[in-house]
Amino acid sequence: MGPVKRVLLGSAAGVFAVAGAQAADLPVKAKPVEYVKVCSLYGAGFWYVPGTDTCIKVGAYTKLDVNYNASGNGAWVGGGGGGSIDTGGRQTRTDTANFNFRARGVASFDMRTQTEYGTLRSYLDVGAQLQTNAANVSTAPVTGASAIYSSRAFLQFAGFTAGRIRSFFDMFNPGNYNIVQNRFNGDTNANGIAAIAYTWQFGGGLSASLSLEDGGFATGGHGRSTANLNNPNSFTVGGSEQSDVKGEQFFDPVFNLRLDQAWGFVGVSAALHDASGGYFGTAAGAETTGHPGDKFGWAVAGSFTLTNPFGLQGDTVGAMGVFSRGAVGYAISNWGPQVVFKGNSVGLGFSADGVYSGLIGNGTASALELTDAWSFNGAYEHRWDPKWRTSIYGGIGGVNFNGNAKSQICANPATPLGFGGAGAGLTGVTNCNPNWSGSQLGSRTLWNPVPDVDVAVDVQWIHIDTAFAGTATLPATGAKPAGIYSISNQDAVSAFFRIQRNFLY
């Protein structure tokens, strides 16, 4: 063998040795890469979580609201909410901020898995918001009010729905037609309510649901607002309404029956509501004073929505009517006082599930007198083209105290019982009648310059009709001085602007 051959053979042997050593260091087989797969079972935006059979959709929205002559949450000035008065209704330099901003960003998570019992779904939305002058008061902190925001957190499984949801009493949604909060209904869509429910599907779009729901205010519920008239601060012009109720013993049972079709839906709903009062006395040790007998209130409603009415594609029209006795929060949103000042006149309206006052007549204990509340709301939306739509909406509602309740409140007509709080009461009343009603009319125009972006303007008028009409002496409330005021019907006009971007929300 010559020198050249020996060199070539030695080089080849070295190359094969090195290649063999490197091959021994490599894994036998590389693991396959897991790619995110589209989940087409539930619509756009869902994808399989790698390594699971669960589909998830992540969505979000961001928005800015600008409100004129309305509080930070969009309610008209002077409207009540959860027992408090929006003091912007006083219309003074220190009590009113004419413009308010609210910025909010929310993310949503919709997770679904197929099981032998059907679809298992869990849903959550959570975010944060900043409100300037949240109570429509110019003396509110200049930094505004920051808060964590969430309106839904629930799971659905085998016919059950449990968590923070919209009440099953509510079916027609006025929020689809406006920006402002509609005050003359008890719809819980905006903030949700704690509940557990079961739904039966009968086929053909017919279903029924039975729900046990929060009867208080834990998550913006329908409220418990029975008032003890022995407390002089039950109804105040300057601050709030104060309830005196038996501790919550059970949830509100709610039932609905509805038919959903391509043309829309029609449904009825009913609820029971514990309106029982506390003790007759208001001081420490009041257990010895006794208490009124327990009573349940109730509410019934009927509603519908029609799609493409009058042959107009994309249009919708709907309405909902509610009557309640001892369950005012089902008929009127966020029970509470309505107090609207205009100079030396004021409009008044107070709401309560019921009232009681201890002893009446010859020493007989009074019964709890349940209050009637009613409302009717309707709306129509017309689509001009794919980018423009306009809605017209309206509502009317009222609160009526029965004859026995008015007899107790107006036992001394000039100083109504329950309205006599020091610095917050009514005296010298010329017409004692706590009944009231109100109406609301508005229009919203919405523009979608590009998909998922809403630019909207909403203008609304509110009217308060008070049966207290006459005159009365009012205490000083905020910057409003004490004196004789005319109690008369009042009007308010508010305007709203919103820009919002929705993404898979």
SS3 annotation, 321-346: EEEEECCHHHCCCCCCCEEEEECCEE
SS3 state of residue 147: strand
The angle subtended at Cα 283 by Cα 282 and Cα 289, nearest 5°, is 70
- Regarding predicted confidence, which is higher, 346 or 141? 346
User: d(Cα 457, Cα 445) in Å, to the nearest integer?
Assistant: 6
The mean pLDDT value for 236-259 works out to 90
Q: What is the pLDDT of residues 96-153, one digit of tens each?
A: 788 889 999 999 999 999 999 999 999 999 999 988 877 677 766 555 678 898 999 9
The mean pLDDT value for 321-348 works out to 89
Q: Taking the complete model, does pTM exceed 0.75, yes or no?
A: yes
Residue 475: the pLDDT is 87
266: closest CA among 302, 304, 300?
A: 304
| Tokens standing for residue 197 | 């429910």
Tell the CATH topology of 149-498. Answer: Porin (2.40.160)
Task: Using a pLDDT cut of 90, give the percent of the chain over it.
Answer: 62
Cβ 250 vs Cβ 435: under 8 Å: no
- Boundaries of every domain in the chain: 149-498
In this predicted structure, the answer to whether residue 48 has a pLDDT above a threshold of 50 is yes
In this predicted structure, the answer to whether residue 12 has a pLDDT above a threshold of 50 is no
In this predicted structure, the answer to whether residue 267 has a pLDDT above a threshold of 60 is yes
In this predicted structure, the answer to whether residue 297 has a pLDDT above a threshold of 90 is yes
In this predicted structure, the answer to whether residue 3 has a pLDDT above a threshold of 60 is no
Q: Which of 17-21, 377-381, 385-389, 406-410 has the lowest mean pLDDT?
A: 17-21
Residue 1: the pLDDT is 52
Residue 4: the pLDDT is 46
User: d(Cα 156, Cα 112) in Å, to the nearest integer?
Assistant: 9
Task: Using a pLDDT cut of 70, give the percent of the chain over it.
Answer: 88
In this predicted structure, the answer to whether residue 211 has a pLDDT above a threshold of 90 is yes
**Which residues face 35 on adjacent strands?**
none
Q: How confident is the model at residue 87 (pLDDT cuts 50, 70, 90)?
A: confident
The mean pLDDT value for 20-32 works out to 51
The mean pLDDT value for 456-474 works out to 93
In this predicted structure, the answer to whether residue 23 has a pLDDT above a threshold of 50 is no
The mean pLDDT value for 152-171 works out to 96
467: closest CA among 417, 423, 424, 430?
A: 430
Residue 96: the pLDDT is 79
User: d(Cα 267, Cα 252) in Å, to the nearest integer?
Assistant: 19
The mean pLDDT value for 338-366 works out to 82
Q: Which of 278-282, 390-394, 450-454 has the lowest mean pLDDT?
A: 278-282
In this predicted structure, the answer to whether residue 33 has a pLDDT above a threshold of 50 is yes
Q: What is the mean pLDDT of the chain?
A: 87
In this predicted structure, the answer to whether residue 441 has a pLDDT above a threshold of 70 is yes
The mean pLDDT value for 471-496 works out to 92
Q: What is the pLDDT of residues 54-65, one digit of tens each?
A: 999 999 999 999
Residue 8: the pLDDT is 40
Longest Cα–Cα distance of the chain, Å, equals: 138
Its sign, for the CA torsion 90, 93, 99, 102, is: negative
- CA-CA distances (angstroms) from residue 228 to 232, 259, 306, 400? 9, 42, 44, 17
